[in-house]
Structure 1
């Protein structure tokens, strides 16, 4: 089965080589649509053997994506962005998945590297090359609408989800968002689209979440509630309930936040996609003193993803609250193994070690926490140093 890569790019010279290198041995052709690069993006794409086509940017991601699709000659299409890479171990899995005769679309799990909230998402990026299978929506564009229309007209087609992480995405790290002014651009495009489709649940979800990110929870709450009125698909319902939980948390209503996180977790979706709601629910439970349920909630996260540092850290906080200091110490050490620059984990490790009377090791942990806080320009370094001085320890 021939597979075509389809990409849209603009000024991606720094990221494009890593992305295209990750696809060696998988794709049979590379289609790159450039929307106005002024750096070396075009030359780099051509060095990798890609066909490069120019297309003027029109504030519509779906339009640009569809331009790339028209050049594809493979039976299947894979869509990636320059800030994404394919997980190498997934190449044989993806190749095998293309052999199923009645599969129309294969949803892929993407890890959001550096994301503050949900660490994983499900993206519709691998699908059959058909003229009626195209992207829609100007931002957070998706092929889901055309896929639904095809399945309704031709019921024999199937949609598959690959549960393993297939794509690593760097675009939600703080520096990446800031450097590309992603939030402002997204808000502008989504608000324009919402004028035309004011009750579209997908648009309400995406723009509502964006309002939460920009610090306007009341606007986000109203839009998310509007979207909930028409949403029917479990993935979208999860997203709406999850972001409503965040909205209510921002509005200091912990009861409503907990209700909506629990509703999110009732949706029948891949477990790896529910980690954001599980972590946030665990945080609420810990805050209100339901420590045993909080512990179980964090343990459920670790069972799904043993490598998620924040889950081990939050479990450590919970075990400390339960007075289980040796177990808390183990959780903090695992956090640090997974994320060595986690300053708060070093700091709380120092606290737990101090509680157990292990002063030498606690001081080592505190010193490491101070060093990391200073490197991260956090005022916590001075506060921690002063607090330790008050106990007679000078670091």
Structure 2
């Protein structure tokens, strides 16, 4: 039977580690934990859950620490995972199944990063190689944002792309921890750039780090460097992410022309991302161009639902998208289809008052006073303080 080793490097992960190990212990044959200097309960938790724990002095190099974990593994296959990640039962079965294949060297998975409620995106997905055969020549490279694929490619190994999902709970970390991590990453990235000033991947990660630290113009500068330094080797998806981040940053700074340009560029490199169309819809709405906004919102929906033939790398808040689509149709005078969108929003989302209010407004505008009154009453039942619904109800019953 194929043996599977899970390999982790950790430091002060007491908050997350038990959840990670509990999610993988049923389908892996051994768990290797390399601790790089924890002073909390991390090591105790790992031991209590049956992991093999090894200690390694941190030398500001993620690849070296990762490779240390590989040295202790005995399995035919390696699953590398972080302490703030989990694997559910469905994806665990997929992992065990794929490791029975004889014709592949490695497997890519989709890392899912759930977002806090209220975002237009419920989750983001990124493709990473997380599962590979144990081999002395397969090793991590790069002091930070380490990669395993280059060594696999040099061996001529076949890499299988899959729909296996690993959940990464990044948002659950405290703001203080996120700040410390970003400041640490900035130091490492700047050190790496001193050695290699032509690596677009480093500039991309530098831009992401500056953005996380709130340094908008430094982030913009770094992302442009990533585009200028591209020699054709960087993944097209990362080029799409670079343009998307530039679009967001320019939108935040008020440069809507540049924001629109970079949003349009995303589809060239990353057609699986619905967010640029959502941004273009937002810009169109600001100009009162509702038909154009409808076009982009409908396209974002098709991408998000996988109707374009590729896995979407963003899970959109569909209830919010239908709410905005209905509002655009209503503004464009298409009340019938607007109502359909508001109903979809109500069915997809939690019990909130806004879609009921907007559906009531739509019915009122086309003269369906009974239907409008019903929706205004439902909106008030969900939010008794919603003045718009109270006003709409009074218009439906002017003599009461």
**Which TM class, normalised by the smaller chain length?**
0.7 to 0.9
Task: Tell me the distance in 2 between the aligned counterparts of 1:188 and 1:389.
Answer: 56
Specify the alignment match of 2:301 in structure 1.
299
Distance 1:178 1:363, change over 3 A: farther
Matched length: 361
Deviation at 1:180, TM superposition (A): 4.3
SS of 2:72's partner is coil
Deviation at 1:299, TM superposition (A): 1.8
SS of 1:362's partner is helix
Specify the alignment match of 2:245 in structure 1.
243
Distance 1:52 1:336, change over 3 A: same
Instruction: Answer with 1 or 2: which has the greater Rg.
Output: 2
CA contact (8 A) 1:171 1:177 kept: no
Task: Tell me the distance in 2 between the aligned counterparts of 1:362 and 1:108.
Answer: 42
Task: Tell me the distance in 2 between the aligned counterparts of 1:362 and 1:85.
Answer: 38
Task: Tell me the distance in 1 between the aligned counterparts of 2:45 and 2:358.
Answer: 51
SS of 1:100's partner is coil
Q: Is 1:332 the equivalent of 2:345?
A: yes
Task: Tell me the distance in 1 between the aligned counterparts of 2:245 and 2:150.
Answer: 22
Q: Is 1:37 the equivalent of 2:38?
A: yes
Q: Is 1:134 the equivalent of 2:139?
A: yes
Distance 1:92 1:242, change over 3 A: same
Distance 1:224 1:45, change over 3 A: same
Specify the alignment match of 1:63 in structure 2.
64
Deviation at 1:162, TM superposition (A): 0.8
Task: Tell me the distance in 2 between the aligned counterparts of 1:296 and 1:20.
Answer: 41
Distance 1:309 1:295, change over 3 A: closer
Give CA deviations for 1:253-284 in whole Å, capped at 9, x if unaligned. 33332332332222367x3xx24444434433
Specify the alignment match of 1:160 in structure 2.
160
CA contact (8 A) 1:278 1:301 kept: no
SS of 2:189's partner is helix
Specify the alignment match of 1:259 in structure 2.
261
Task: Tell me the distance in 2 between the aligned counterparts of 1:391 and 1:226.
Answer: 53
Q: Is 1:179 the equivalent of 2:177?
A: yes
Task: Compare 231-240 and 85-94 and name the one that shifted more.
Answer: 231-240
* TM-score normalised by L of structure 2: 0.80
Distance 1:220 1:268, change over 3 A: closer
Give CA deviations for 1:17-46 in whole Å, capped at 9, x if unaligned. 211111133211110001122222212212
Task: Tell me the distance in 1 between the aligned counterparts of 2:328 and 2:57.
Answer: 57
Task: Tell me the distance in 1 between the aligned counterparts of 2:95 and 2:63.
Answer: 24
Task: Tell me the distance in 1 between the aligned counterparts of 2:275 and 2:209.
Answer: 16
Q: How do 1:183-194 and structure 2 match up within 5 A?
A: 183-194=182-193
SS of 1:135's partner is coil
Q: How do 1:1-395 and structure 2 match up within 5 A?
A: 1-114=2-115, 119-151=124-156, 157-164=157-164, 166-173=165-172, 175-181=173-179, 182-231=181-230, 232=232, 233-267=235-269, 271=272, 274-288=273-287, 289=289, 290-304=292-306, 308=315, 310-323=317-330, 324=335, 325-337=338-350, 346-356=353-363, 357=372, 358-367=375-384
SS of 2:242's partner is helix
Specify the alignment match of 1:377 in structure 2.
none
Gaps of 5+ in 1: 152-156, 371-383
Task: Tell me the distance in 1 between the aligned counterparts of 2:328 and 2:152.
Answer: 49
Distance 1:326 1:123, change over 3 A: same
SS of 1:112's partner is strand
Gaps of 5+ in 2: 307-311, 364-371, 395-400
Deviation at 1:51, TM superposition (A): 0.8
Deviation at 1:75, TM superposition (A): 1.5
Task: Tell me the distance in 1 between the aligned counterparts of 2:112 and 2:21.
Answer: 18
Distance 1:212 1:12, change over 3 A: closer
CA contact (8 A) 1:74 1:129 kept: yes
